[in-house]
Amino acid sequence: MAPELAQNIFKMSGLVTVIVVTYNSSSFIEEALDSIFRQNWSEIELVITDDCSEDNTVSICNQWLSRYSSRFTDYRLLTSGVNTGTSGNANRGLYVATGEWIKFLGGDDALLNDCLSDNMSFVERDSHIGVLFSRVNRYDEFFSPNNLLDTTPVGPILQGSILWPSRSAESQYRMLLTGDRINFTPSFFIKRDLILSLGGFDERFRLLEDYPLWLKLTKNGHKLFFMDKITVNYRQHKKAVNHTGISSIINTNYFNTESFRRKCTYPFLPPLIRFEQQFRWMVSQIFRIDFLNRPTVFNKLLYNTFTIYFNPFRYLIKFEKIIRKQKREFYD
């Protein structure tokens, strides 16, 4: 079925580039592209960048573009002869984009019809906004009401949230150093000049494109803003790059992030926080064994015993949290 153009088209000035990042996305790519076609924002540049897919994602994109490319101000389909990882793939699209604002979209996700117009209307109100997040609907496999898992962020934005309106970029950076608190990445909307000024995504981390960027943005004084609207449907499915296919206590992707933390977070954390995180990392190594990582009652008890109750740094941190009055973000 052909996608239908939105009835009310916003013609405010401003070219938005939607960069669709694909890898073996043949099952869902048409749904993603149709959602861009249906946007009620008029000026859209479409960039599709594929990371050496082994399925027919590229041919599906070519066929779709042959029918619907006239909808867009401009369009490009980029391919790679080698797999460069999510960071490299996203950068390929970024480097050819010409829009003032960038909206990244996974090849298995979809934009709500008002996504671009809502984002653009919001950033027009405040010239200080360079990066904006919003709410995301998270689905299991298919975008149907029965498959809706939740909407994230869940509930109202409270004072302890990283997106609390009065929180500064410096405060957000300190919170991010203790862990990635952004679980609504698909809503990410950013000014092109800003992300380019920071060098784009860090290609040292092939499959970790978002967390390093949040750190880089906030460390350089760029606050993460929030719009209280749902703009994107995110699909959780078995073919996703970050899906392990195994129910576990510790997501096995965690075991691949220690080199990142050594470079980007540990050196900037207070000693006690760093020691606590390193202790948990060392203890977690025993859960690399498959049968210990299965989410049984006994394994969960074992994990909590070692990482919480036998973790001496947790008690020291609790004590310091009581007596320390400044830089509380590290202890929240």
Are 80 and 223 in a shared domain? yes
Last residue of a domain, one of 236, 260, 281: 236
Residues 177-182, mean pLDDT to the nearest whole number: 93
- What is the domain count for the chain? 2
- Whether 3 is covered by a domain: the verdict is no
Q: Do residues 172 and 223 make contact, with C-beta atoms less than 8 angstroms apart?
A: yes
Q: Do residues 22 and 29 make contact, with C-beta atoms less than 8 angstroms apart?
A: yes
Are 58 and 191 in a shared domain? yes
Q: Mind listing the pLDDT tens digit for each residue in 268-301?
A: 999 999 999 999 999 999 999 999 999 999 999 9
Are 53 and 131 in a shared domain? yes
Last residue of a domain, one of 205, 236, 267: 236
What the block records as the tokens of 202 is 């860090």
- Whether 5 is covered by a domain: the verdict is no
Are 222 and 282 in a shared domain? no
Are 200 and 257 in a shared domain? no
Last residue of a domain, one of 204, 236, 268: 236
Are 147 and 280 in a shared domain? no
Are 220 and 287 in a shared domain? no
Q: 185: domain range?
A: 16-236
Cα–Cα distance measured from residue 4 to residue 35, given in angstroms and rounded to the nearest whole number? 9
Burial bucket for residue 299 (CB in 10 Å: 0-12, 13-18, 19+): middle
Q: Mind listing the pLDDT tens digit for each residue in 190-245?
A: 999 999 999 999 999 999 999 999 999 999 999 999 999 999 999 997 765 554 44
Average pLDDT, the chain: 92
State yes or no: cis peptide before 295, omega within 30 of 0.
no
- Whether 109 is covered by a domain: the verdict is yes
| pLDDT score for 11 | 63
- Whether 222 is covered by a domain: the verdict is yes
Are 163 and 290 in a shared domain? no
**E runs forming strands in the chain:** 16-22, 44-50, 74-78, 101-106, 110-111, 131-140, 148-152, 189-191, 225-236
Are 258 and 229 in a shared domain? no
Are 310 and 228 in a shared domain? no
CA distances from 309 to 109, 129, 164, 301, 302 (A): 40, 42, 31, 10, 10
